[in-house]
Amino acid sequence: MEQKKGFDTILLHEGYTPEERTKSRAVPLYMTTAYAFDSAEHARSLFALEQEGNIYTRLQNPTSDILEKRIAALEGGVGALATSSGHAAELMTILTLASCGDEIVSSSQIYGGSVNLFGKTLKKMGIKTHFVDPDDPGAFDRATNDRTKAYYVETVGNPNANVADIEAISNVAKKHGVPLIADSTMTTPYLIKPIELGADIVIHSTTKYISGNGTVMGGIAVDSGKFKWLGNPRFPEFNEPDPSYKGLVYAEALPETAFIAKIRSHIVRDVGACQSPFNSWITLLGMETLSLRMERHCKNADIVADFLENDPHIERVNYPRLKSSPYYELSKRILPKGAGSTFTFEIKGTRENGAKLIDSVKLISHVTNLGDSRSLISHPASTTHSQLSDEQLKAAGISPTTIRISVGLETVEDLLEDLRQALKAAF
């Protein structure tokens, strides 16, 4: 029996062995748009999905394929699709599952751009989103009807680091035969594996912690292979012949990989939001240090959160690893290695004090990205969540005095000194 490979071995080796021709030890960058066919019959069989192979880089690419295989293995999934951004992964996942007249149920405590995507852009497509309190699994149950096609949560919410009880929400999803989508951008597969807790689809903005260096955009959707598509009345498109592939029935022909096959062969084919091979290559380079980086990110975040909680100018710190957090026990159970390094804190002053604090940092960068090797700080209400109404901001737990910080890999004493002097300047 073959020994199960460890996380870091998968991180460095999955999906690639040195090529027979070049013997390249590092993953090659295949910067090509198209691929030569062996014959007319070979081309026909590829387009008919009768055999695997490369057709066009919008659909697949050897470098991106390695990234997909690597992340799928880390998550414990059966396949993955690399996309042009995290937003593209979200959108194409939903479009694979839902059509005009359908509905989804989403946590209200998610990235502001996702709230806008679900509440406005999907609405224009005729897909309705119910936003519910993620701390109440029963809210997902109450919002479900016969048009519901997906539940959506962030493992750790952006920006307030609320922790979703994936197991409890998954139980509700299974009761209704609805797939649970877990966005694990804030945690990565190093800290949590949502599929093991019951999620059916995992997505990431690989722009963040997975690549880790703030250089390239990317996203990915991972198929658990565990959702029961066959015979599920919610998903007729999975159980009826697809005329664009000569009557292929995804749930019958590909019972374990129906989702990832459909999102690739149908949605990314038509939408075209694929990941650049160059971005996949840079992401693979960054991933090689994922374990080491996440350990340092979490260690630094623990120290910074404790420092902020004990500062007299801070009202509250929303960080799951603090004993004062309502998510402390849950995070210990499902996030034993750490809860990521992006969280928020509330200052006791005014919005002006918060602006002065952000303007006064010297080492920490005022940037709306997160998961960079460098520490970043921002004001969610006027940046990442500025599209939200006052009611939506309240539901997301964001106030005018909420500050978000993404703790990086710097020497932690230098980060504390920077925050110390910025707080002094702000007050």
- Angle between helix 412-426 and helix 351-360 axes, rounded to 10 deg: 140
Beta-bridge partners for 205: 219
First to last CA, the chain: 63
Question: CA-to-CA distance for 405 and 217, rounded, in angstroms?
Answer: 20
Mean pLDDT of 248-257: 95
Mean pLDDT of 133-145: 97
Characterise 57 by phi-psi region: left (phi > 0), alpha (psi -120 to 50), beta (else). alpha
pTM of the model: 0.95
12 versus 386: the higher-pLDDT residue is 12
The whole-chain average pLDDT of the chain stands at 94
The pLDDT of residue 396 is 67
Mean pLDDT of 159-179: 97
Is the pLDDT score of 176 beyond 60?
yes
* Amino acid in the structure at residue 329: E
Residue spans per domain, the chain: 7-286, 290-426
Is the pLDDT score of 316 beyond 80?
yes
Structural tokens at position 102:
């359908």
Strands 342-347 and 314-318: antiparallel
**pLDDT 10s digits, 99-110:** 999 999 999 999
User: What percent of the chain stands above pLDDT 90?
Assistant: 86
The pLDDT of residue 290 is 98
| Whether the Cβ atoms of residue 373 and residue 296 lie closer than 8 Å to each other | no
- The one-character DSSP state at 242 is B
Structural tokens at position 409:
């890999």
The pLDDT of residue 390 is 72
- The one-character DSSP state at 16 is -
Cβ-defined contacts of 23-26 (< 8 Å, 24+) = none
**pLDDT 10s digits, 381-400:** 777 667 767 777 777 677 78
DSSP per-residue codes, 68-120: HHHHHHHHT-SEEEEESSHHHHHHHHHHHH--TT-EEEEESSS-HHHHHIIII
Residue pointed to by tokens 């999907």: 122
Q: Pick 7-286's CATH classification: 3.40.640.10, 3.20.20.70, 3.30.70.1060, 3.40.50.1980.
A: 3.40.640.10
- Is 290-426 in CATH node 3.30.70.580? no
The pLDDT of residue 67 is 98
**pLDDT 10s digits, 323-378:** 999 999 999 999 999 999 999 999 998 888 988 999 999 999 999 899 999 999 99
**pLDDT 10s digits, 279-289:** 999 999 999 99
**pLDDT 10s digits, 183-239:** 999 999 999 999 999 999 999 999 999 999 999 999 999 999 999 999 999 999 999
| Whether the Cβ atoms of residue 380 and residue 344 lie closer than 8 Å to each other | yes
**How far are the Cα atoms of 161, 261, 312, 342, 364 from residue 416, in angstroms, in the given order?**
20, 48, 15, 16, 10
The pLDDT of residue 138 is 97
Q: Is the four-CA dihedral 425, 305, 298, 82 of positive or negative sign?
A: negative
Q: Is 157 helix (H, G, I), strand (E, B) or coil?
A: coil
Residue pointed to by tokens 């002053």: 349
Structural tokens at position 81:
């699709």
Beta-bridge partners for 107: 132
Q: Kindly report whether the peptide bond that precedes residue 159 is cis, defined as omega within 30 degrees of 0.
A: yes
